[in-house]
Structure 1
């Protein structure tokens, strides 16, 4: 069986199209692009403004059930579905996130799909791509350097070194940097203080980039980033350092969306890469709006399960888009449902209708959750070779009882041809679903958290730590409480305990802290034991990677 990289390399050697030809499908000319070689490009900002004069097509959100070790293939299904829509003569554009080096070098993998439903050039995309992640990392750490330099040279803003909230970042899973002490080495080496690193994709700077409408909006949002508090506990912002101009300069190219293609030459606008378990998990507003205006059908994904990425897309991102979503596609696999039904990874390879029916509780809750937002729901059954016809039929029946049609897809092995039935169902959907948010921003912070915890997760109640209650009171006193919430939670369960599979109800959601991300415009609610700097596994994927003298890469999935 061929690996993902072997399939991608075979295609790249004989069938990949110049990116200018892919851009032409969207009505874009060479002058609208900044080329990064022959097969990837940045789209000029002028195109973003010009595109707004065009009408908008349907917007389809692709999400999934809670991830399991068996894998669900959400990105793969979305890419294959886009290719299927293109085969049906639909002018289709994908808007998706960029990979982070953390999971690429770790264990989860990249973000370019798999099999015959991939985005290419896969190697470039999963490694350095066009440098957006590096620019973000540089901006994040430049701000940290400017903060420490300000304290070193007189500290006119009276920043309390013990109350600096801004964290450094690295786009690599490095657990050793979660908690560090800086400034050691004497008076010329800065002020000694505790500091922290998080992965680049979890930083507020990433959220600011993804939620900005244009460069001026980006600068304004950067200026609003809270960096800490004074000795008198007054807030200090980036604009107080007068650093927003320099930081915007570092991101002048990163804010431009990237254009690439699928194996079947469907245009893909790839931009931004926040994780949905520890950030808001959606690609940029600029990319999604571009896809909406340039195509008749725009597909976009939200990270991890629908309880995380889709909820954040619908409650944080959708209100800021030029158009609200028309439908949600939930990706599920029979083997993952059987895993949620209590079987081990070895046992899920064998037919078991009882376990499938038990594990369906997880998918059922996701379906009902998406319906709360007024969206039509379709289920994509990412079918594997050992799934039986009886299992597929049972799953379709269970979904149909909830008013959600389910369609088997085989895009990993068949490309777009493997999702034509689902694609036709999307074409036949009416425009303009009755979208509605789960909560109102003007509700109290605790009410908004309770809405998500109870209505989406199924929790009995929310339990706040002493620190979280203190932070909640401070946020309310500063008048920062009228913003959406971004809950950081394990992706493996509806609860904050990764071991509670299925659809648990007898649990409390434990809020450990609440962090105001004022530049991004939301409050980050950290629950359970979630970490914003992951660690590498026992055997990182990086140990399997190599490159030879002919520049051939191996081991990259």
Structure 2
């Protein structure tokens, strides 16, 4: 195992996770470059092809990206992680740190990230701009309204909902069955009170009352379409393919029949251009789109990733939560649909999280416990094996904490070596790109010596139920899936309607390979219960809702929002 130098650098950066400054304090002290300079100097993009949103944010013009079609693609690196725990893994921090590390060793690299949702920002998880000295900036802007993309996506979604109800009110010429309307409204906030509602109360003038509900914006099919569209024309076509409900005879009614696609696309016209910002070390970062990985497909936009591959020699991207969710969906949905071929997968782990998977309580994680680490390695081992099933080379990186001991490090190195993968310690949190330089060298070397033989886990023509069963058995370690007669009929209905070639997007807890959030490590032999099937005809996948998972989260007892305020100097405080 190779360990990055832990000593503070001349810039005052400290060893991992003992910095006297908070993430937001580090971010606010950053010396940012004007975004037009970053675009020109780092990526060669002329100023006229970047639309500035203030001094430090900008959108790259789609027509400029079209001019790059003939350029060769760079190398694509996916950053994923072990099954998340409250101890933290640092996936985004590693994605940003590795990008800075690649630039530090002289490579032309950028990162492609998802835009953060306001739900976790004000809930439990906080923002998603990295941490310590491996952040993207301006951190407050990125974590809050950014360039308004999410507002546009929510507005487009809710415009369709309004048009559906309006169509019914004015005679319902398409014969929509109000009991079979599947299109839900969205808001980018955790609000459990909106999960299940009754709409259109208050009399005849307000329409026909019916059961309804909200999802969080990042779970919306519009978000998925936004992230999977290859162009603006493709976006508009996919918006028209959305199925909003059925007639009494179970005939699907699409958005195009409501004549909604054009106006929805108009709301997304500016949003569809990818956003350019920078890391703390002034390296380029494209942040665009943001579906959750536990209830959606968990990857940034195809447009952003393909743009990055034309603009840089190395593109570092991430997929949400653990590899069983984010990486699987990256491979089986995004790469399959976009024709992407990843060159390397980096799995992020921490000694603390592995010990938690081995049964150690959070309060005891600072105490050396090699036995617990070895027990918890079962989780990382399964993720390593899972990624290898896709034919992509694997590299493990340890996000360094000051409490990690040499004995624990040595044990993890030995365990990874037995699985045929290198394990590299990175201190990108404490030392930025310099702390991730060794990881960057290993990443480059692995790509050069191990060619990727990427292939999806299952074939397009496999029946939907078998696709889900394959994911459950091959990746989750399950014995089987279970479902009632209504779900069985829905599987058959979707196949008959011509959607059987779609991939499956699993919505389940991110905290376990099973649907029991408390089952740590690598549980085996369990059964994955299928509670609901949702068709996303525009995004071109079928969502399988498994176990007790909500597409509209709630806030915790003490939400992060309680600690956020604006100081006398106008600066935001408490955002993390």
Q: Same fold (TM over 0.5)?
A: yes
| Gapped regions of structure 2 (runs ≥ 5) | 1-19
Q: Which runs of 5+ in 1 are unaligned?
A: none
Which residue among 309, 329, 335 is the counterpart of 2:346? 329
Do the aligned residues in 2 keep the contact of 1:331 with 1:380 (CA within 8 Å)?
A: yes
Cα deviation, residue 415, structure 1: 0.6
- Does 2:524 match 1:505? yes
Q: 132, 139, 156: which is aligned to 1:139? A: 156
State the Cα deviation string for residues 255-290 of structure 1 (Å, max 9, x = none). 110000000011001000000000000000000001
Deviation at 1:378, TM superposition (A): 0.3
**Does structure 1 retain, via aligned residues, the 8 Å contact 2:319–2:326?**
yes
In the TM superposition, what is the alpha-carbon distance from 1:466 to its structure 2 partner? 3.0
Q: Which residue of 2 aligns with 1:532?
A: 551
Partner of 2:79, secondary structure, is strand
| Residue 447 (structure 1) aligned to one of 448, 466, 471 | 466
- 1:466 equivalent in alignment to 2:485: yes
| Alpha-carbon contact 1:81-1:419 (below 8 Å) kept | yes
Matches of 1:496 and 1:116 in 2, distance apart?
A: 35
Are residues 1:287 and 2:308 paired? no
C-alpha distance in 1 between matches for 2:183 and 2:248: 16
Pairing partner for 1:121 from 138, 143, 149: 138
Deviation above 6 Å: which 4+ runs of structure 1?
none
Note if 1:378 corresponds to 2:381: no
What is the CA distance between 1:322 and its match in structure 2? 5.0
Correspondence for 1:18: 34
Partner of 2:96: 79
SS of the equivalent of 2:532 reads strand
**Is contact 1:48-1:286 (8 Å) kept?**
no
Residue 548 (str. 1) matches residue 567 (str. 2): yes
* Cα displacement string for residues 158-216 of structure 1 (whole angstroms, at most 9, x for unaligned residues): 10111000010000000000000011100001110000100000010000000001111
In structure 1, the residue corresponding to 2:29 is in which secondary structure?
helix
CA contact (8 A) 1:289 1:322 kept: no
Match of 1:320 among 334, 337, 351: 337
Question: Which segment is superposed worse, 233-242 or 467-476?
Answer: 467-476
Q: Distance in 1 between matches of 2:339 and 2:254?
A: 29
SS of aligned partner of 1:53: coil
Alpha-carbon displacement from aligned partner over 1:325-351 (angstroms, at most 9, x marks no partner) = 001000000000000001100111110
Separation in structure 2 between the aligned mates of residue 371 and residue 234 of structure 1, nearest angstrom: 42
Once the two structures are TM-superposed, the CA of residue 128 in structure 1 deviates from its matched residue by 0.2
| Cα deviation code 1:102-143 (max 9, x no counterpart) | 000101011100000000000100010000010011111111
Task: State the partner residue of 1:353.
Answer: 370
SS in structure 1 at match of 2:99? helix
Deviation string 1:13-72 (CA, Å, 9 cap, x unpaired) is: xx1100011101111011111100000001111122112221111100000000001110
Matched, 1:148 2:165: yes
What does residue 105 of structure 1 align with?
122
Residue 42 of structure 1 is matched in structure 2 by 59
Cα distance in structure 2, aligned partners of 1:337 and 1:477: 45
Say which of 252, 257, 272 aligns to 1:235: 252
What are the equivalent positions in structure 2 for 1:428-443 lying under 5 Å apart? Answer: 428=445, 429-430=447-448, 432-443=451-462
Deviation at residue 497 of structure 1 after TM alignment: 0.9
- Alignment-derived partner of residue 475 in structure 1: 494
CA contact 1:337–1:359 (8 Å) conserved in 2: yes
Distance 1:323 1:513 in 2: 30
Find the residue that maps to 2:294 and give its secondary structure.
coil
SS in 2 for 1:61: strand
- Per-residue CA deviations over 1:483-527 (Å, capped at 9, x if unaligned) read 101000100000011011100002101111111100000000000
In structure 1, what is the equivalent of residue 8 of structure 2? none
Distance 1:74 1:282 in 2: 13
Q: Confirm or deny: 8 A CA contact 2:393 2:451 kept in the other structure.
A: no
Q: Which residue of 1 aligns with 2:70?
A: 53
- Counterpart for residue 179 of structure 2: 162
RMSD, aligned CA: 0.9
How far does residue 470 in structure 1 lie from its aligned partner after superposition? 2.2
Aligned residue number for residue 192 of structure 2: 175
SS in 1 for 2:167: helix
Asked whether 1:214 is paired with 2:228, we answer no
- What CA deviation, in whole Å up to 9, does each residue of 1:345-382 have, x standing for no partner? 01111100000000000000000000111111000100
Q: Which of 190, 195, 203 is equivalent to 1:186?
A: 203
How far apart, in 2, do the equivalents of 1:293 and 1:114 lie? 27
TM-score (norm 1): 0.98
Q: Mean Cα displacement is larger for which, 21-30 or 280-289?
A: 21-30
Alpha-carbon separation, structure 1, partners of 2:102 and 2:261: 42
After TM superposition, give the deviation of residue 432 of structure 1 in Å.
Answer: 4.5
Distance (Å, rounded) in 2 between the aligned partners of 1:151 and 1:323? 42
Corresponding residue for 1:278?
A: 295
The CA distance in 2 between the partners of 1:154 and 1:248, in whole Å, is 26
Which whole-Å CA distance do the structure 1 matches of 2:532 and 2:511 have between them? 20
Aligned position for 1:523: 542
Q: Which residue in the other structure is 1:456 paired with?
A: 475
1:349 counterpart SS class: coil
Residue 204 of structure 1 is matched in structure 2 by 221
Counting matched residue pairs gives 554
The CA distance in 2 between the partners of 1:6 and 1:552, in whole Å, is: 10
| Contact 1:325 1:432 survives alignment (8 Å) | no
Q: 2:109 aligns with which of 92, 95, 102?
A: 92
Say if 1:117 and 1:416, in contact at 8 Å, map to a contact too: yes
Q: Conserved in 1, the CA contact under 8 Å of 2:115 and 2:290?
A: yes
